Amino acid sequence: MKIFVTGGTGFIGSYVAKALLDDGHELTLLARNPRKVAAFEADERIRFVEGSMEDYAAIARGLEGQDACIHVALSWLGGTAEENAVRETLPTIRLFQAAAEAGVMKLLFTSSIASFGTARHDDTGYIRPMNYYGAAKAASEAYLMAIAYEYGLQANAIRPGYTFGNPCVKGGPLYPDLKLMDMVKKARANEPMTFVKNDGTQFIWAGDLAKVYMALLHADIREHNRGYFTAVSTEHRTWAQIAQMAVDLLGSRSEITLIDKGRPAPDGTPIDVSRIRDSFGFSFTADERMKEHLLYLSTLEP
């Protein structure tokens, strides 16, 4: 299959691109810097189109002759509501529209659990975003489905949670969030750490997340024509528990203090991942991969 991928040189995108290559697909990657990931730059199975999400001529060139479009790139984060709409949602809509007009039959969109907001955390479709990022993702989901209905396409939105992992290929990037790196740094230095009691989430390893893309790419259109798939592990872990992992793994003397801000303990797993389990027969746990990741971070220069 010929597949156009945005964000393929980023953290999640590099895992998705590697999984696609391992599965024998031909890739066209939209990238601001085609030389960013050394392993991809040297791979003859990858064609690069240099440009950003706002470079519509480059996107049009990249979509020619493609069977599927996987949108991973994040164009904009932060700022005002208008900035999120113009810089994140609008380029996403234009990408989907261009893909449909180019005859691409499969669309996969990287949304976020932020699209839920205060709504029930499952894939029923109900959303109440709490921030502009979540609103931008939710709006993009809506336009994805509208365009898919208009053109008769297979389209699915993947909603990852906090995604982590080591670089998956030579020159591949790390996730840019500094929380895990900071706790490893403090554990190495035996410094105290403070966290909000019960504050945490259901993490997911990027390699497991990539499996969701692959499953949906090959899914039967009669069963998975258009839908939403939340992608997190089945385990809820607090930041304090992750920090304790780092302390134990590194033999640290760091003390962990909890601040009680009235956050209730989670009742089981707050984020429902049953749709992935029921649809594809798999579910994910993250603890062992998290330990591997913390050990990897401990090897990096301070």
In CATH, 2-163+204-231 is 3.40.50.720: yes
Per-residue pLDDT for the chain (302 aa), expressed as one digit of tens each? 999 999 999 999 999 999 999 999 999 999 999 999 999 999 999 999 999 999 999 999 999 999 999 999 988 778 899 999 999 999 999 999 999 999 999 999 999 999 987 766 667 767 888 999 999 999 999 999 999 999 999 999 999 999 999 999 999 999 878 899 999 999 999 999 999 999 999 999 999 999 999 999 999 877 789 999 999 999 999 999 999 999 999 999 999 999 999 988 887 778 888 899 999 999 999 999 999 999 999 999 77
Report how far apart, in Å, the C-alpha atoms of 94 and of each of 55, 110, 167, 189, 252 are: 10, 15, 30, 48, 50
Strands 154-160 and 163-164: unpaired
Q: Other CB atoms closer than 10 Å to residue 123's CB: what's the count? A: 19
Residue 125 has what pLDDT? 67
Question: Distance between CA atoms of 126 and 116, rounded to whole angstroms?
Answer: 7
Residue 224 has what pLDDT? 82
**Residue 139 burial by Cβ neighbours in a 10 Å radius (0-12, 13-18, 19+):** buried
Q: What is the largest CA-CA distance in the chain?
A: 59
Region at 112 (left for phi over 0; alpha for psi -120 to 50; beta for the rest): beta
Question: Distance between CA atoms of 82 and 136, rounded to whole angstroms?
Answer: 10
Q: Other CB atoms closer than 10 Å to residue 46's CB: what's the count? A: 22
Question: Distance between CA atoms of 302 and 298, rounded to whole angstroms?
Answer: 9
Residue 54 in tokens = 């706002």
Determine if the pTM surpasses 0.75.
yes
Residue 120 has what pLDDT? 66
Question: Distance between CA atoms of 294 and 286, rounded to whole angstroms?
Answer: 12
Contacts of residue 96, Cβ cutoff 8 Å, sequence gap at least 6: 69, 71, 107, 109, 143, 144, 147, 155
Contacts of residue 156, Cβ cutoff 8 Å, sequence gap at least 6: 107, 108, 109, 216, 219, 224, 226, 227, 228, 229
Residue 78 has what pLDDT? 80
